[in-house]
Structure 1
Amino acid sequence: MSSRRNFIRTTAVGMAGTLSFPAISKASAFYAGDSSKATTFSIGMAGYTFLNFDVAASIEMMKKLDVHNISVKDFHLPLNSSDEKIKQVLQQFKDGGINVYTVGVIYMKSKEAVDQAFDYAKRVGVNMIVGVPNYDLLDYTEEKVKQTNIKIAIHNHGPEDKLYPGPKQVWDQIKDRDARMGLCLDVGHALRAGTEPDEAVKLYSKRLFDMHIKDVVAREKNASVTEIGRGVINYPALIKALEKVKYNGMISVEYEKNMKDPLVGIAESVGYVRGVMKTV
């Protein structure tokens, strides 16, 4: 058990020295690999993680975690923000060493919402939206993709979602559309909807633009979330699948377990993922 603690402490590069990393109960056998062959994917944060924090507090947590990429949510930068507001918030992130690499998740239930989302992405200066357009808006969304050259990564939201519960439902809607229409794979929601995340990566790699990573405690519809590494998602298999398909997007942690006091849980999750990347 002490070696497990040492593993987490060692691999949580750049995290605050005062953070504690509780012992994790799962998958200790995964760490017997050759650490001289490290797999590296860029780690980001899904903005929803910081629902209860303002921009400044979110930046401070990310700096402690040594994570420098974020998908911005509208509670930090509203969709109807003025150009001055956008400039101000982007400067805050830049000054904190944080790259805003995309925006979303943005829900699109009307043509006006689609227009707003693409205009917002353009003004923020990103080339991708993580979004959820209704089925009847997919043709219109495709038109906007072609007009603006801004990609859309459709996010699956689990068995509760009537539109896109799992990655297959996204794939079925976009596979014959413009190649700039793809998937933001939420691995926790995918598993709750019955799809193993590593299999989803292999099946849908051609349109895999972004990822939200988390963990869940069981392969069940109503499974609760937990720190990455404490649940049932096979992260070594997931990282190996990403390596196999030569994934070049972001893997963004979306931590939802204790959202009013998330830092230690995020740190454990990020440290676990970094550790797996060092050992697969």
Structure 2
Amino acid sequence: MRTLRKGLLTLGMAALVYAMPAAAQKKEAKLGWKLGAQAYSFNRFTLAEALDKLDSCGLQFVECYPGQTIGGSIEGKMDFKMDAAKQQEVKNLLKSKKKTLVAFGVVSPRSEADWKQLFDFAKAMNIQIITSEPRVEDLDIVSKLADEYKIKVAIHDHPKPSHYWHPDSVTAAMKGRSQYIGACADIGHWVRSGLDPVECMKTLNGRIYSLHFKDLNEKSRQAHDVIWGTGVSNVEAVLQELKAQKFKGLISAEYEHNWFNSVPEITQSVKNVRGMIEKL
């Protein structure tokens, strides 16, 4: 009997632990925010292992990236050129881990045929957002395909001197093109480029479709990630601006530090941000 009571108590505690993230997500869902992680945060591990780590962090949504070993008894790497059978295996893996694939990238094909194959892949995998840094000469192709498939393309900013380091270049890419083309706001890379994330977001008002969320220890190209709310990225003001813009989309934790043991820091980051969201 004592063993049974102990087992039931353990199950009850486990149920409480797993209920807590679901309760915390209610405010996010009301805002239309999907708080998840870019699998690149766990690029020393397989996708299958990364999905388990997301679970440990209390996150449901995932942005996959090309080149990650899939794992979980599935051979090969994540690739928009994988065949239908492999795609189904990955979908089964995601379902078994109770994770939702929302975005894929950063991926930037260099031919019209490859762009079309990427959109076909996104459609088959129920991907809502392609994260990309398309060549300027490919933008019209991307615009046409985005309208045809009704899939968003979020232009990502790597630090200066990357072509899209400044929001003005993203604005120029969007001008006169599909409303499905918008921005993936990597707020940490803006800080690395000497920019104010909130001012950058204001420049892109209404066209931010996703974020790579970071807080950095300092304003420099050499800066590294720290727990959200403890660095210089002005995280609380970023969240306030997202709410002001009526943003609806994916917020991907992309933690590029302490690679082999980042789960505690990402978990605390998520807890900190959810506390800020509750006060919005």
TM-score with structure 1 setting the length: 0.81
How many residues align structurally?
247
The answer on 1:133 being equivalent to 2:134 is yes
CA positional deviation for 1:225: 2.7
Indicate the residue corresponding to 2:46 in structure 1. 54
Residues 1:84 and 2:72 are matched in the alignment? no
Query: Structure 1's 60 and 205: CA in aligned 2 closer, same or farther, altered over 3 A?
Result: same
Pick closer, same or farther for the CA change 1:14–1:131 going to 2, 3 Å. farther
Structure 2: unaligned runs, 5 residues or longer: 1-15, 21-26, 71-77
Rg comparison, structure with higher value:
2
Partner of 1:120: 121
1:14 Cα deviation from its structure 2 partner? 4.8
Where relative contact order (Cα < 8 A, 6+ residues apart) is larger, the structure is: 1
The runs of 5 or more residues in structure 1 that have no matched partner are 1-12, 18-37
Shift of 1:215: 1.3
Decide whether the 8 Å contact of 2:229 with 2:236 is kept in 1: no
Contact 1:14 1:65 in 2 (8 A): no
Structure ranking higher in helix proportion: 2
By how many angstroms is 1:55 displaced? 2.5
Match of 2:157 in 1: 156
Distance 1:99 1:274, change over 3 A: same
Within 1, Cα distance between the matches of 2:17 and 2:237?
Answer: 25
What's the counterpart of residue 13 of structure 2? Answer: none
Tell me which amino acid in the other structure corresponds to 2:218. Answer: A
Percent of residue pairs identical:
27
Deviations 1:25-67 (A, max 9, x none): xxxxxxxxxxxxx675331111211211112211211112221
Deviations 1:215-234 (A, max 9, x none): 11222233233232231011
Q: Aligned equivalents of 1:122 and 1:158: distance in 2?
A: 30
Q: Is the 8 A contact 1:191 1:197 kept in 2?
A: yes
Is the contact made by 1:108 and 1:132 (CA closer than 8 Å) also made in structure 2? Answer: no
Spell out, residue by residue over 1:215-267, the C-alpha distance to the aligned partner (whole angstroms, 9 max, x if none).
Answer: 11222233233232231011111111111111111211001011222211211
Contact 1:205 1:247 in 2 (8 A): no
Contact 2:167 2:203 in 1 (8 A): no
CA change 1:47–1:167 in 2 (3 A) is farther
Deviation, structure 1 residue 155: 0.6
Segments of 4+ in structure 1 off by > 3 A? 38-41
What is the deviation of 1:143?
Answer: 1.7
Aligned-CA RMSD value: 2.2
Whether the 8 Å contact between 2:65 and 2:104 is mirrored in structure 1 is: yes
